[in-house]
Amino acid sequence: MTDQKPLGEEIDFEPDVDPTDPAPKPGADLGGLSLIVDDVHVTYRVYGGRRAAASGDELSVVRRLLNRTNRHIGAVTEVKAIRGVSFVARHGEAIGIVGRNGSGKSTLLRAVAGLLPLSGGTVYISGEASLLGVNAALMKDLTGERNIMIGGLALGLTATEVRERYDEIVEFSGIGDAVNLPMKAYSSGMGARLRFAISSAARPDVLMVDEALATGDAEFRARSKQRIDEIREQAGTIFLVSHSLAAVRSMCSRVLWIDKGKLRMDGPVDEVCDAYQEFTRPRRPAR
């Protein structure tokens, strides 16, 4: 027996590196791919759950150990939000993510963006990822203007770059003079539009948009589509989580359907949207 394999019989994806090297870091060369997500798991720990607290004694020692340093009385409940998701993304792709509420879409984006620790698997990203989800990064008590600065800095722009792009961001968002008001005075649509304007202004390599586009009017959606196309042309990759299948269909080329933390389907936009639509279609009760 020999380890040698006939040429062409098996494609060898092993990178030619010392196995003791650390995993590729952001900015790594992924051979033309922008992102590799390999068997990713994310588990949340929720403290103070009821279910285990009411159960048998064998947990109590562990519970006491776990709770030694704080005053949680209940148990630790694990929520396995992402359970073994794998896919690769290429430069220039716009990928929609659909799935029912609680299926793990936001968790997946946050994990890929490096904002959440993985409980298993690996994410390789070539370049910088930026995620400004509906709840991320911006501060309600500050004005839109301050948030543009903070959001821009959080995305890796310099203060000068943010100032250069300030007018463009305000104009893109369409919020007008409201930029001088604290964001808590904004409607959810205004907030979402400003978030999208900020996060896309940085022209990141991987742009992740979580539920920001469904709220805009037709004109804003057209601007957004143009911005997304621009980023794709510059070889960026976009992930778009949206309740609006219309937005996903018009802006994406490919769709991932996440269900109960697993990848249920990954394919061309119409194929997956049709299947998902059929799946979620309200059915009349059988008579």
Ligand X SMILES: Nc1ncnc2c1ncn2[C@@H]1O[C@H](COP(=O)(O)OP(=O)(O)O)[C@@H](O)[C@H]1O
Spatial strand order in the sheet of 120-125: 75-90, 33-49, 120-125
Residue 103 lies near Mg ion (rule: CB under 5 A): no
Nearest-approach distance from CB 15 to ligand X, in angstroms: 31
Instruction: For residue 85, give the H/E element and its range.
Output: strand 75-90
Nearest-approach distance from CB 23 to ligand X, in angstroms: 24
Nearer to ligand X, 49 or 174 (CB): 49
User: What angle do the packed helices 188-201 and 218-233 form, to 10 degrees?
Assistant: 20
Residues contacting ligand X: total by CB under 6 A: 12
Nearest-approach distance from CB 72 to ligand X, in angstroms: 14
Residue 106 lies near Mg ion (rule: CB under 5 A): yes
Separation of alpha carbons 255 and 225, rounded Å: 16
Residue 214 lies near ligand X (rule: CB under 6 A): no
The pair of structure tokens assigned to 135 is: 């709840």
CB 144 within 8 A of CB 181: yes
Nearest-approach distance from CB 211 to ligand X, in angstroms: 8
Residue 102 lies near ligand X (rule: CB under 6 A): yes
Residue nearest Mg ion (C-beta atom)? 106
DSSP characters for 39-68?
Answer: EEEEEEEEEEESTGGGS-THHHHHHHHHTT
Q: Which stretch binds ligand X (CB under 6 A): 97-105, 134-142, 246-254, 262-270?
A: 97-105
Residue 191 lies near ligand X (rule: CB under 6 A): no
Site string for ligand X, 103-132 (x = CB under 6 A): xxxxx-------------------------
The stretches of 56-187 forming alpha helices (DSSP H) are 58-66, 105-112, 144-154, 159-173
User: What angle do the packed helices 188-201 and 144-154 form, to 10 degrees?
Assistant: 40
Residue 44 lies near ligand X (rule: CB under 6 A): yes
Query: From the list 2, 4, 101, 160, which residue makes contact with ligand X (rule: CB under 6 A)?
Result: 101
Q: Which stretch binds Mg ion (CB under 5 A): 21-29, 100-108, 195-203, 247-255?
A: 100-108
3-state percent helix, strand, coil for the chain, nearest multiple of 5:
35, 25, 40
Q: Site residues (CB under 6 A) for ligand X?
A: 44, 46, 79, 81, 99, 101-107
